[in-house]
Structure 1
Amino acid sequence: MEFLETLLIIILIIFGFRLLFKFFAPFLMRYFMKKLKQKFENAQQQSHNQSTYTSQNDNLNSQSGSRKTNPNSKVGEYVDYEELD
């Protein structure tokens, strides 16, 4: 008889969790979807801000007309190749 009582309690607990899950799942999903949407929008906004910032820098650099080169950079020696007949 104790076995049947234990089995009945386990079954009732399982059904209780299923009912609670069916009731709270939509609210939990909405909550997590809102959080995910906010994270995505923040990432997209940051990406947009960075691309705007770099495009503004590119525009300023192209408008200035002069490119600043680092005098310490080692580019290498210029080699003039001639074609052989």
Structure 2
Amino acid sequence: MFIMGLLRTILIILLVYFGFKILARLFAPLLLKFVAKKAEEKFGGQFGGFQNPNQQRQQQKQNEGETVIDKMPNDNKSSNQKVGEYIDYEEID
């Protein structure tokens, strides 16, 4: 009785394992295509693939060779000249 239960359990485990392998071979290409398509959409949106309708209208209005400045830079930048103290050192072998 114990041996029959053990054999039945091993058989079920083997069927699940081989069934999973067969299904993985069938559906893996579809899954990879789906993931690649989503990644392409995501990266395409970040690198200029997606444009706002307002941006498209502005690009159509611009003439060739025309320079457009969207934002004027701040001239109030002041650099801190006293950044720190320079320490000279000698390397000891």
Partner in structure 1 of residue 15 of structure 2: 16
Give unpaired runs (5+ residues) of structure 1. Answer: 78-85
Partner in structure 2 of residue 68 of structure 1: 72
Secondary structure (helix, strand or coil) at the match of 2:48 reads helix
Report whether the alignment pairs 1:7 with 2:11: no
Q: How far apart in 2 are the matches of 1:5 and 1:19?
A: 21
Q: How far apart in 1 are the matches of 2:32 and 2:19?
A: 20
For 1:12, give the aligned amino acid. L
Cα distance change of structure 1 residues 31 and 46 upon mapping to structure 2, 3 Å threshold: same
Partner in structure 1 of residue 43 of structure 2: 44
Could you tell me the TM-score, scaled by structure 1's length?
Answer: 0.56
Could you tell me the TM-score, scaled by structure 2's length?
Answer: 0.52
Q: CA RMSD in A?
A: 3.7
Give unpaired runs (5+ residues) of structure 2. Answer: 79-93
Which whole-Å deviations, capped at 9, do the CAs of 1:8-61 have from their partners, x for residues lacking one?
11111011112212211112211220121111110121022269889x98xx7x
